Structure 1
Amino acid sequence: MQSMASFTRTTRLALLLAIFALTGCATQKSLYAWNDYSPQVYQYLKEGGGSADGQVLALEKGIEQASAQNAKLPPGYYAHLGLLYLNTGHSDKAIAAWNREKDLFPESTQYIDYLMNNMKKNGS
Protein backbone atom coordinates (compact mmCIF):
# COMPACT_ATOMS: atom_id res chain seq x y z
CA MET A 1 0.00 0.00 0.00
CA GLN A 2 2.85 2.31 0.75
CA SER A 3 4.31 1.90 -2.74
CA MET A 4 0.97 3.04 -4.22
CA ALA A 5 1.05 6.23 -2.10
CA SER A 6 4.64 6.81 -3.16
CA PHE A 7 3.68 6.36 -6.82
CA THR A 8 0.83 8.84 -6.48
CA ARG A 9 3.07 11.37 -4.76
CA THR A 10 5.71 10.93 -7.47
CA THR A 11 3.10 11.27 -10.20
CA ARG A 12 1.72 14.45 -8.64
CA LEU A 13 5.20 15.91 -8.31
CA ALA A 14 6.02 15.09 -11.94
CA LEU A 15 2.74 16.62 -13.10
CA LEU A 16 3.35 19.75 -11.04
CA LEU A 17 6.87 20.14 -12.45
CA ALA A 18 5.57 19.69 -15.99
CA ILE A 19 2.96 22.42 -15.43
CA PHE A 20 5.60 24.81 -14.08
CA ALA A 21 7.88 24.08 -17.02
CA LEU A 22 5.14 24.68 -19.57
CA THR A 23 3.98 27.84 -17.83
CA GLY A 24 7.53 29.17 -17.80
CA CYS A 25 7.85 28.61 -21.54
CA ALA A 26 4.52 30.23 -22.31
CA THR A 27 5.39 33.48 -20.55
CA GLN A 28 8.84 33.96 -22.05
CA LYS A 29 9.35 37.50 -23.30
CA SER A 30 10.57 38.08 -26.84
CA LEU A 31 14.10 39.38 -27.24
CA TYR A 32 12.93 42.14 -29.60
CA ALA A 33 9.92 44.41 -29.95
CA TRP A 34 8.77 43.49 -33.46
CA ASN A 35 5.71 45.77 -33.44
CA ASP A 36 4.60 46.20 -37.08
CA TYR A 37 8.02 45.48 -38.57
CA SER A 38 7.26 42.18 -40.33
CA PRO A 39 4.01 43.33 -41.97
CA GLN A 40 5.74 46.51 -43.17
CA VAL A 41 8.58 44.57 -44.79
CA TYR A 42 6.07 42.21 -46.40
CA GLN A 43 4.06 45.13 -47.74
CA TYR A 44 7.22 46.78 -49.06
CA LEU A 45 8.30 43.63 -50.89
CA LYS A 46 4.81 42.80 -52.16
CA GLU A 47 4.13 46.28 -53.52
CA GLY A 48 7.67 46.99 -54.72
CA GLY A 49 8.02 49.96 -52.43
CA GLY A 50 4.36 50.86 -52.36
CA SER A 51 3.17 53.46 -49.91
CA ALA A 52 6.50 54.28 -48.31
CA ASP A 53 5.11 57.25 -46.37
CA GLY A 54 2.62 55.08 -44.50
CA GLN A 55 5.29 52.49 -43.80
CA VAL A 56 7.64 55.18 -42.47
CA LEU A 57 4.94 56.36 -40.07
CA ALA A 58 4.26 52.79 -38.89
CA LEU A 59 7.96 52.10 -38.25
CA GLU A 60 8.48 55.45 -36.51
CA LYS A 61 5.51 54.60 -34.28
CA GLY A 62 7.18 51.24 -33.56
CA ILE A 63 10.33 53.06 -32.45
CA GLU A 64 8.29 55.17 -30.03
CA GLN A 65 6.51 52.09 -28.66
CA ALA A 66 9.75 50.19 -28.16
CA SER A 67 11.31 53.20 -26.45
CA ALA A 68 8.31 53.54 -24.11
CA GLN A 69 8.59 49.84 -23.22
CA ASN A 70 12.38 50.04 -22.92
CA ALA A 71 12.56 47.26 -25.53
CA LYS A 72 15.06 46.55 -28.30
CA LEU A 73 14.15 46.68 -31.97
CA PRO A 74 15.17 43.73 -34.16
CA PRO A 75 18.10 43.67 -36.58
CA GLY A 76 17.22 45.28 -39.88
CA TYR A 77 14.60 47.63 -38.45
CA TYR A 78 16.63 50.79 -38.95
CA ALA A 79 18.10 49.49 -42.21
CA HIS A 80 14.61 49.06 -43.64
CA LEU A 81 13.52 52.42 -42.28
CA GLY A 82 16.55 53.96 -44.01
CA LEU A 83 15.48 52.46 -47.34
CA LEU A 84 12.00 53.87 -46.85
CA TYR A 85 13.43 57.29 -46.02
CA LEU A 86 15.53 57.14 -49.17
CA ASN A 87 12.47 56.21 -51.25
CA THR A 88 10.61 59.23 -49.88
CA GLY A 89 13.46 61.62 -50.68
CA HIS A 90 14.91 61.99 -47.18
CA SER A 91 18.51 60.92 -47.71
CA ASP A 92 19.66 62.65 -44.52
CA LYS A 93 17.21 60.60 -42.47
CA ALA A 94 18.25 57.47 -44.38
CA ILE A 95 21.88 57.98 -43.40
CA ALA A 96 20.91 58.60 -39.77
CA ALA A 97 18.80 55.42 -39.68
CA TRP A 98 21.57 53.37 -41.30
CA ASN A 99 24.14 54.69 -38.84
CA ARG A 100 21.80 53.72 -36.02
CA GLU A 101 21.57 50.21 -37.50
CA LYS A 102 25.38 49.98 -37.58
CA ASP A 103 25.60 51.18 -33.97
CA LEU A 104 23.11 48.61 -32.73
CA PHE A 105 24.28 45.75 -34.93
CA PRO A 106 27.94 46.16 -35.95
CA GLU A 107 27.73 42.97 -38.02
CA SER A 108 25.55 44.94 -40.47
CA THR A 109 28.30 47.48 -41.20
CA GLN A 110 29.38 45.98 -44.52
CA TYR A 111 25.82 45.90 -45.87
CA ILE A 112 24.98 49.39 -44.62
CA ASP A 113 28.20 50.79 -46.09
CA TYR A 114 27.21 49.17 -49.39
CA LEU A 115 23.82 50.92 -49.26
CA MET A 116 25.43 54.26 -48.45
CA ASN A 117 27.98 53.93 -51.26
CA ASN A 118 25.23 53.07 -53.76
CA MET A 119 23.22 56.06 -52.58
CA LYS A 120 26.22 58.35 -53.17
CA LYS A 121 26.90 56.83 -56.60
CA ASN A 122 23.30 57.40 -57.64
CA GLY A 123 23.39 60.99 -56.41
CA SER A 124 20.61 60.66 -53.87
Structure 2
Amino acid sequence: MKHILTTAVIALLLAACAQNKPAKNSLYYWGDFNKQQYQTLNNALTPQEQIANMEKYFLDAQSNYAKAAPGTHAHLGMLYAKVGNLAGAKTQFEMEKQAFPESATYMNFLLKNVVGEK
Protein backbone atom coordinates (compact mmCIF):
# COMPACT_ATOMS: atom_id res chain seq x y z
CA MET A 1 0.00 0.00 0.00
CA LYS A 2 2.86 2.37 0.84
CA HIS A 3 4.40 1.71 -2.58
CA ILE A 4 1.13 2.58 -4.37
CA LEU A 5 0.76 5.80 -2.37
CA THR A 6 4.36 6.84 -3.12
CA THR A 7 3.86 6.13 -6.82
CA ALA A 8 0.64 8.16 -6.85
CA VAL A 9 2.33 11.14 -5.14
CA ILE A 10 5.27 11.03 -7.58
CA ALA A 11 2.88 10.84 -10.54
CA LEU A 12 0.91 13.79 -9.18
CA LEU A 13 4.08 15.86 -8.70
CA LEU A 14 5.30 15.05 -12.21
CA ALA A 15 1.93 16.02 -13.67
CA ALA A 16 2.01 19.32 -11.78
CA CYS A 17 5.53 20.05 -13.02
CA ALA A 18 4.57 19.25 -16.58
CA GLN A 19 1.72 21.77 -16.48
CA ASN A 20 4.03 24.56 -15.30
CA LYS A 21 6.54 23.88 -18.04
CA PRO A 22 6.46 26.61 -20.70
CA ALA A 23 4.87 25.70 -24.01
CA LYS A 24 7.18 24.46 -26.70
CA ASN A 25 8.48 27.33 -28.78
CA SER A 26 6.61 27.72 -32.00
CA LEU A 27 8.37 28.13 -35.31
CA TYR A 28 6.35 31.32 -35.85
CA TYR A 29 5.00 34.10 -33.69
CA TRP A 30 1.21 33.89 -33.58
CA GLY A 31 0.43 36.42 -30.85
CA ASP A 32 -3.21 37.41 -31.15
CA PHE A 33 -3.36 36.94 -34.92
CA ASN A 34 -6.24 34.46 -34.68
CA LYS A 35 -8.26 37.01 -32.69
CA GLN A 36 -7.49 39.66 -35.30
CA GLN A 37 -8.67 37.40 -38.12
CA TYR A 38 -11.90 36.76 -36.21
CA GLN A 39 -12.43 40.49 -35.71
CA THR A 40 -11.89 41.09 -39.42
CA LEU A 41 -14.40 38.43 -40.43
CA ASN A 42 -16.98 39.84 -38.01
CA ASN A 43 -16.32 43.52 -38.78
CA ALA A 44 -15.72 44.03 -35.05
CA LEU A 45 -13.23 46.84 -35.69
CA THR A 46 -12.74 49.43 -38.39
CA PRO A 47 -10.13 48.64 -41.04
CA GLN A 48 -7.90 51.37 -39.57
CA GLU A 49 -8.09 49.75 -36.11
CA GLN A 50 -7.32 46.36 -37.63
CA ILE A 51 -4.31 47.81 -39.47
CA ALA A 52 -3.04 49.33 -36.23
CA ASN A 53 -3.42 45.95 -34.50
CA MET A 54 -1.57 44.15 -37.29
CA GLU A 55 1.25 46.70 -37.25
CA LYS A 56 1.51 46.13 -33.49
CA TYR A 57 1.56 42.37 -34.15
CA PHE A 58 4.64 42.78 -36.36
CA LEU A 59 6.36 44.92 -33.72
CA ASP A 60 5.58 42.24 -31.12
CA ALA A 61 6.95 39.50 -33.37
CA GLN A 62 10.11 41.51 -33.89
CA SER A 63 10.53 42.21 -30.17
CA ASN A 64 10.15 38.47 -29.51
CA TYR A 65 12.81 37.72 -32.16
CA ALA A 66 10.32 35.52 -33.97
CA LYS A 67 9.19 35.08 -37.55
CA ALA A 68 5.76 36.39 -38.45
CA ALA A 69 3.28 33.58 -39.00
CA PRO A 70 2.19 32.48 -42.47
CA GLY A 71 -0.56 34.66 -43.86
CA THR A 72 0.07 37.66 -41.63
CA HIS A 73 1.61 39.84 -44.34
CA ALA A 74 -1.14 38.84 -46.76
CA HIS A 75 -3.75 39.71 -44.12
CA LEU A 76 -2.25 43.16 -43.59
CA GLY A 77 -1.99 43.59 -47.35
CA MET A 78 -5.70 42.91 -47.75
CA LEU A 79 -6.46 45.44 -45.02
CA TYR A 80 -4.31 48.03 -46.77
CA ALA A 81 -6.12 47.32 -50.04
CA LYS A 82 -9.45 47.71 -48.28
CA VAL A 83 -8.59 51.29 -47.28
CA GLY A 84 -7.07 52.11 -50.69
CA ASN A 85 -3.39 51.87 -49.75
CA LEU A 86 -2.38 49.81 -52.78
CA ALA A 87 1.34 50.53 -52.33
CA GLY A 88 1.16 49.14 -48.78
CA ALA A 89 -0.81 46.13 -50.04
CA LYS A 90 1.78 45.45 -52.73
CA THR A 91 4.60 45.65 -50.18
CA GLN A 92 2.86 43.21 -47.84
CA PHE A 93 2.04 40.73 -50.62
CA GLU A 94 5.68 40.82 -51.74
CA MET A 95 6.83 40.27 -48.15
CA GLU A 96 4.50 37.28 -47.81
CA LYS A 97 5.84 35.84 -51.05
CA GLN A 98 9.44 36.34 -49.90
CA ALA A 99 8.85 34.81 -46.45
CA PHE A 100 6.79 31.91 -47.77
CA PRO A 101 7.68 31.03 -51.37
CA GLU A 102 4.91 28.43 -51.46
CA SER A 103 2.44 31.32 -51.37
CA ALA A 104 3.83 32.88 -54.58
CA THR A 105 0.96 31.74 -56.82
CA TYR A 106 -1.68 33.20 -54.53
CA MET A 107 0.31 36.38 -53.85
CA ASN A 108 0.79 36.88 -57.61
CA PHE A 109 -2.97 36.46 -58.00
CA LEU A 110 -3.56 39.13 -55.34
CA LEU A 111 -0.97 41.42 -56.88
CA LYS A 112 -2.75 41.15 -60.22
CA ASN A 113 -6.37 41.27 -59.05
CA VAL A 114 -6.21 43.44 -55.94
CA VAL A 115 -3.30 45.78 -56.65
CA GLY A 116 -3.72 45.77 -60.43
CA GLU A 117 -0.15 44.75 -61.22
CA LYS A 118 0.44 43.20 -64.63
Structure-1-length-normalised TM-score: 0.74
2:24 is the alignment partner of 1:34: no
Q: Residue 39 of structure 2 corresponds to which residue in structure 1? A: 43
% identical equivalent positions = 35
Unaligned ranges ≥5, structure 2: none
Residue by residue, what CA displacement relative to the aligned partner does 1:77-123 show, whole Å, maximum 9, x if unpaired?
Answer: 110100111122222221111111122222222211111121354x7
Asked if structure 1 preserves the Cα contact closer than 8 Å seen for 2:61 and 2:67, the reply is: yes
1:17 to 7, 14, 20: 14
CA distance in 1, matches of 2:114, 2:4: 70
User: Cα RMSD between the aligned structures?
Assistant: 2.6
Structure-2-length-normalised TM-score: 0.77
2:48 to 43, 48, 53: 53
1:60 CA drift (Å): 0.6
CA distance in 2, matches of 1:54, 1:60: 10
Q: 1:36 to 1:75 in 2, by over 3 A?
A: same
How many residues are treated as equivalent by the alignment? 116
1:34 CA drift (Å): 3.0
Q: Residue 76 of structure 2 corresponds to which residue in structure 1? A: 81
Mark the structure with the bigger radius of gyration.
Answer: 1
CA distance in 2, matches of 1:30, 1:75: 16
Question: One-letter code of the match for 1:110?
Answer: T
CA distance in 2, matches of 1:17, 1:53: 47
Asked if structure 2 preserves the Cα contact closer than 8 Å seen for 1:56 and 1:85, the reply is: yes
Unaligned ranges ≥5, structure 1: none
